[in-house]
Structure formats: C-alpha cells, structure tokens
Amino acid sequence: MEKKRILTGDRPTGRLHIGHYFGSLKNRVKMQNEGIYDPFILIADVQALTDNFNNPEKVRKNVREVAMDYLSVGIDPEKTTIYIQSLVPETAELTVFYANLVTIARLERNPTVKTEIAQKRDIFGESVTYGFLGYPVSQAADITAFNGELVPVGEDQLPLIEQCREIVRKFNSIYGEVLKEPEAVLSNTKRIKGLDGNEKMGKSLGNAIYLSDPEDEVNRKVMSAVTDPNRIKKDDLGNPDICMVYYYHKLFSTDEECKTVCSECKEGKRGCVACKKQLAQNINKELNPIREKRKYYEEHPEIVDKILKEGTAKAREEAKRTMKKVKKAMMLDYFED
Ligand code: TRP
C-alpha cells in the first residue's frame, strides 16, 4: 500500500517549547512510527522571513535549533524527511504560478492572516507587505509541491489549508487534474497555555518552557507560574481550575498525582511551593531524555547538517517531479529536457 504523505512544518523563529511538544511534535512522532505514513517536515525559513525580513540572523540561527528540537523529541530522519524550505526553490516558483489563482480580497479575508496582521502592527504598521499577505499562497505551494495528502494542524491553521484547497481546485479546473487536494487533520491535541495563563505559549510573551531549557531554568520558570491569586496562605482553600501549576500537572504528572494535587489544594493542605517543586521535577523527568539527545546533536552539528542536506535533496527531487507536471499542464514545457 502507498504510504500517505503527511506535510507539517514550523517557522524557525525560536526554539520549540512544550506548547509545540504537546500541540504537534508528539503527534508527529506517533504518526511517523505508525508506519503507514510518509511524513515530510519543512523548516519554513522563507515563511519565517515574511514577518522577520528585518531579522535574517534570527531565522538563520533557528533553522538548526528547530532541527535539533525535532531530532531530540524523536523525529527519525530514517522515517521522516526534514528539509529547509529555501533550498527547494521549486516551491517559490510554484508560489508565483499560484499567485494568479488567488484574489487579494480572498487573502485579506483569511482569518488567520487577518489576526496575524492585527498582532504584527509593530512590524507592518498600517499596511502589510505583499509577502506576508501572500504567505498562504506560498504555504499552498509547500504542501502541493510534495503531493501532501494530510496536513495535521491546529485550529489556527485551518484557514490556510482551506485556501490551499481552493487554489488546487482552481488550478485543476483551468490546467487539468495535476494537483492533489490536501486534507487537514485536526489534531486532538490542544493549544497549551503559557506560564502566565495566557491562551498562547510563545517566545514574545516570555511565558514558555523550552524543550532545551536546562533543569534550573525549568525550576525557575515553574516557580513563576501563576497560581490561584486568592490563595495566600497554605491553608487557604484553593481553586486548582484557575491555577497554571495544576494545568501543567495534568500534562506532566500521573493521574494519581493530579488527584492528590487537586484535592489537597481544594482542602488547603498543600503549599504552592511544594506543588511547584513536584511539577518541576516531573517536567524535568520528561525533558531529560530530550535534553540528552539534544546534547548529542549540539556536539555533532555535522550530523544535523547531513540530515538536513539529505532531507532537502530528497524533498527537492519530489518538488521537481511536481514542477514538471505543473509546467506541462501550464504549457510552459518549451523544450524536451
Ligand atoms: N504556517 C505554519 C506555522 O506557522 C508553518 C508552515 C509553513 C506549514 N508551511 C507549511 C505547516 C506547510 C504545514 C504545511 O506553523
């Protein structure tokens, strides 16, 4: 049986954190190991530049950081193709062709893009760049150049997949059935809140625990997590449902521990400091094997580079095959090659 092609990716704008871990990485590792998929992961440096065009150092540095994060959580380059977006220029070419199949009004209506533009006023001011407004078009190229069939995503990415599907249908209706229409797979994982209780964990919010954070950093961050503000003394009755420490216990601690944490907190029998220490310990236990593996790759950058080079070469072959079909369909195949 043909293995189904999965496409996922991340913008390399920072190291990956536990929000990524629960939100996508664990799921990617699981799907990779099921043996019925052929996963591709792109490190979307070109897309990262759409809102970081003035900070190329940041993007450059984080390409390898993100690659090491992937490898350290168990993305296996034998099973998953990891590649760098800018090194597959075919996707840029495809983006130009797709640009004719999308209206500006449609892009402006894309809810994800709309939200992001509103959040990025500091970069874009009153008028967004052509590149950022058009990144869904480039993402459609990222997916279709590799015949992506399944795209596991969080809810926020759904409008991008829908936009991709529209482009595919339009392309196929004009030039013939060449492209595969991808399907979004909504991962059952949820978005992880930040240490401060913010709905989103993120670098710019300063509320993230990174997979590569050393133990003492995790300890320090957990100590700063927001707890029930009405609980001042240990014997005050607490409400774990508004406590970020309990929220993370549910991710990192056993069911039994969670039950104890919950009941002791409600009864005022548990101090927040002890509760945080226990949580930090459990987080560190989960992160230790990841740190171990990461350390290995940090000490062997040549291995990381080899994996990226080989993955990119394989991805490029695939994109070239698609481009050939696309150009033929668009009557751009002027000469035999
Ligand atoms: N937009 C995605 C993000 O911000 C990254 C991405 C770029 C992507 N190209 C993709 C994801 C193709 C899936 C498929 O996380």
> In this model, does residue 15 exceed pLDDT 80?
yes
**Pocket of ligand 1 contains residue 261 by CB under 6 Å:** no
DSSP bridge pairs for 284: none
Q: Ligand 1 centre from 8 Cα, in Å?
A: 6
Give 221-287 as a DSSP string: HHHTS---TT--STTSPP-GGG-HHHHHHHHHS-HHHHHHHHHHHHTT-S-HHHHHHHHHHHHHHHH
> In this model, does residue 155 exceed pLDDT 90?
no
Q: pLDDT band at residue 336, thresholds of 50, 70 and 90?
A: confident
Q: pLDDT band at residue 90, thresholds of 50, 70 and 90?
A: very high
Q: Nearest residue CA, atom 2 of ligand 1?
A: 10
| CA-wise closest residue to 263 among 285, 246, 248, 279 | 246
Tokens of 164: 């991709």
Q: Ligand 1 centre from 63 Cα, in Å?
A: 14
Question: What share of the chain has pLDDT > 90, as a percent?
Answer: 87
**Pocket of ligand 1 contains residue 151 by CB under 6 Å:** yes
Rounded to whole angstroms, the Cα distance separating 300 from 311 reads 17
Rounded to whole angstroms, the Cα distance separating 285 from 238 reads 26
Rounded to whole angstroms, the Cα distance separating 271 from 166 reads 54
Q: Ligand 1 centre from 44 Cα, in Å?
A: 7
Rounded to whole angstroms, the Cα distance separating 158 from 29 reads 21
> In this model, does residue 233 exceed pLDDT 90?
no
Give me the mean pLDDT over the 140-155 stretch. Answer: 94
Q: Ligand 1 centre from 299 Cα, in Å?
A: 28
Q: Ligand 1 centre from 191 Cα, in Å?
A: 16
- pLDDT: which is higher, 232 or 227: 227
**Pocket of ligand 1 contains residue 7 by CB under 6 Å:** yes
| CATH numbers and ranges of domains, the chain | 4-192+302-329 (3.40.50.620), 213-295 (1.10.240.10)
**Pocket of ligand 1 contains residue 9 by CB under 6 Å:** yes
Site to probe by mutation for ligand 1, drawn from 5, 10, 20 as the one with most ligand atoms within 8 Å of Cβ, is 10
The model carries a pTM of: 0.95
Which residue's entry shows tokens 């990617």?
28
pLDDT at 126: 86
Site to probe by mutation for ligand 1, drawn from 115, 120, 160 as the one with most ligand atoms within 8 Å of Cβ, is 160
Q: pLDDT band at residue 292, thresholds of 50, 70 and 90?
A: very high
Q: Nearest residue CA, atom 3 of ligand 1?
A: 10
pLDDT at 204: 79
> In this model, does residue 75 exceed pLDDT 90?
yes
Which residue's entry shows tokens 């580079």?
305
pLDDT at 266: 93
| Exposure of 126 in the CB half-sphere (CA atoms within 13 A) | 0
pLDDT at 232: 85
Residues 6+ apart with CB under 8 A from 307: 67, 71, 77, 82
Rounded to whole angstroms, the Cα distance separating 80 from 307 reads 10
Give 33-92 as a DSSP string: HTSSEEEEEEE-HHHHHHTTTT-HHHHHHHHHHHHHHHHHHT--TTTSEEEEGGG-HHHH
> In this model, does residue 298 exceed pLDDT 80?
yes
**Pocket of ligand 1 contains residue 144 by CB under 6 Å:** no
> In this model, does residue 106 exceed pLDDT 80?
yes
Which residue's entry shows tokens 């009755």?
237
pLDDT at 293: 98
pLDDT at 203: 80
Q: pLDDT band at residue 187, thresholds of 50, 70 and 90?
A: confident
Q: What is the pLDDT of residues 24-66, one digit of tens each?
A: 999 999 999 999 999 999 999 999 999 999 999 999 999 999 9
Q: pLDDT band at residue 191, thresholds of 50, 70 and 90?
A: confident
pLDDT at 209: 97
pLDDT at 177: 97
Give the chain's mean pLDDT: 95
Site to probe by mutation for ligand 1, drawn from 5, 6, 11 as the one with most ligand atoms within 8 Å of Cβ, is 11
Q: pLDDT band at residue 2, thresholds of 50, 70 and 90?
A: confident
**Pocket of ligand 1 contains residue 84 by CB under 6 Å:** no
pLDDT at 235: 86
Q: pLDDT band at residue 333, thresholds of 50, 70 and 90?
A: very high
pLDDT at 67: 98
**Pocket of ligand 1 contains residue 6 by CB under 6 Å:** no
